[in-house]
Structure 1
């Protein structure tokens, strides 16, 4: 199909999943809900829904600023409200005077339970509190089995989404031009290192794109891609705004401070 040419080869399974959902909703007139989507998947989903006049859709992950969100597709005559999304907010406390927990510690403990990343939304760890948004269908399992992080006992309890803590993460947004959309070029620009050093990080498996390790410096980035470099934090290619007269890409990028 012509639609595939706009996306990466490895993104075809997700595209097929969305197209299949569209077909099912059109045939059965029943709404469908996805697991949590990362920013790139949200971009793809939104792009694919642009030409579907007989369907309505929305995304939500607990708040308007959520990074990871679930999506609902429904026949055009229905309405989609935020309470329709199958989300549960779980919260636990830990003694931050005696132990330091980071996002990766809690995520690692979560993943060790054998649950797919797609069932987990945004995760906040700050001021002695852990909050995670999870798919409603695994909430009870999490509360029963997620009992420790770094040898610290934790007990999660369900909270209303109105108790969601605003993350203290801040993203610095920058508009710039790039000679290309290669991964090593983006890493060089965003993290302020040489292109050679960027390539070394990539070759060593220290760089992820949309939570997947990429070891190819010439990997082409696309709008909505989320990057992370071990020890240097996360960043995002937010928008590709066209080309300059000198044939450079005008882009908007952001980096987590």
Structure 2
């Protein structure tokens, strides 16, 4: 099946079609040259769609790995492996580098400050992975195609001066995610019922959010309020927040299901 037919089968259009086409180009290039090839950084949704596309293209599980520079990375690249390289050694040809931008603690900076500064320098978003901000520094995962430019040229974010250096990926500072534990019972594990508990709203309002296309389950848009969730699923509602279904417990005497949710704050 040719590239166009594969993209049509996946129902890809617009910007998504262009992004998926580039992924397929990298895969075909790797197969043709027998070389390691990497995509740009992909969002979780793009990554899942790309994996679906690669399955349709006949790419086996051992032909590529997904990596973002550290275990819990949200934005990741797909790294296509040459025949001679085992998956366990994929990081040896990874194009990801980590830059640490240090700043004075009395001038706190946010993720938005760093991303805005990078975009202002003309660095495309897909060349930048996760931006991990702590009290006095930020670790920024970038592709090697822009790393040296940033090391030489990136001096500030807004009015705050930065001290930039490259660090080993094994030394990345990962900030602790801020979450609130919510324990509740739900009538079922339907998406609308769990959203109502996780985001503290009526079930009717939750159903409206789902039908309006503002809800993602595991980074994929979902418009079916009756979708059944499973332990470990992550749900986000644009403009309302995000939570993870951390645990599903037993059933109460009234037939309701106990759940533990971790809501990101």
- The alignment's TM-score, normalised by the length of structure 2, stands at 0.67
Q: Could you tell me how far 1:29 is from its partner in structure 2?
A: 2.5
The SS at the match of 1:20 is: helix
The equivalent residue for 1:24 is 29
Pick one of 36, 51, 56 that aligns with 1:46: 51
Q: Within 2, Cα distance between the matches of 1:88 and 1:78?
A: 20
Any gaps of 5 or more consecutive residues in structure 2?
A: 247-260
| Preserved CA contact (<8 Å) 1:227 1:234 | yes
| Preserved CA contact (<8 Å) 2:99 2:141 | yes
The SS at the match of 1:133 is: strand
Counterparts of 1:1-257 in structure 2 under 5 Å? 1=5, 4-10=8-14, 11-50=16-55, 51-53=58-60, 56-79=63-86, 80-96=89-105, 98-170=106-178, 191-193=199-201, 227=236, 229=238, 233=241, 255-257=263-265
Distance change in 2, residues 1:36/1:2 (3 Å) = closer
Q: Could you tell me how far 1:191 is from its partner in structure 2?
A: 3.5
Q: Size of the alignment, in residue pairs?
A: 235
Q: Within 2, Cα distance between the matches of 1:87 and 1:24?
A: 19
Q: Within 2, Cα distance between the matches of 1:86 and 1:30?
A: 13
Based on CA coordinates, which of the two structures has the bigger radius of gyration? 2
Q: Could you tell me how far 1:117 is from its partner in structure 2?
A: 0.6
Q: Within 1, Cα distance between the matches of 2:74 and 2:245?
A: 14
Q: Within 1, Cα distance between the matches of 2:243 and 2:122?
A: 27
Any gaps of 5 or more consecutive residues in structure 1?
A: 202-206, 239-252
CA deviation digits over 1:42-75, x for unaligned, max 9? 1122223333249610111111111111111134
Q: Within 2, Cα distance between the matches of 1:208 and 1:157?
A: 38
The SS at the match of 1:144 is: helix
Distance change in 2, residues 1:54/1:69 (3 Å) = closer
Q: Could you tell me how far 1:5 is from its partner in structure 2?
A: 4.5
Question: How large is the Cα RMSD of the aligned pairs?
Answer: 4.5
Distance change in 2, residues 1:192/1:112 (3 Å) = farther
Distance change in 2, residues 1:16/1:122 (3 Å) = same
CA deviation digits over 1:86-133, x for unaligned, max 9? 11111122222x222221121111211111110111111112111101
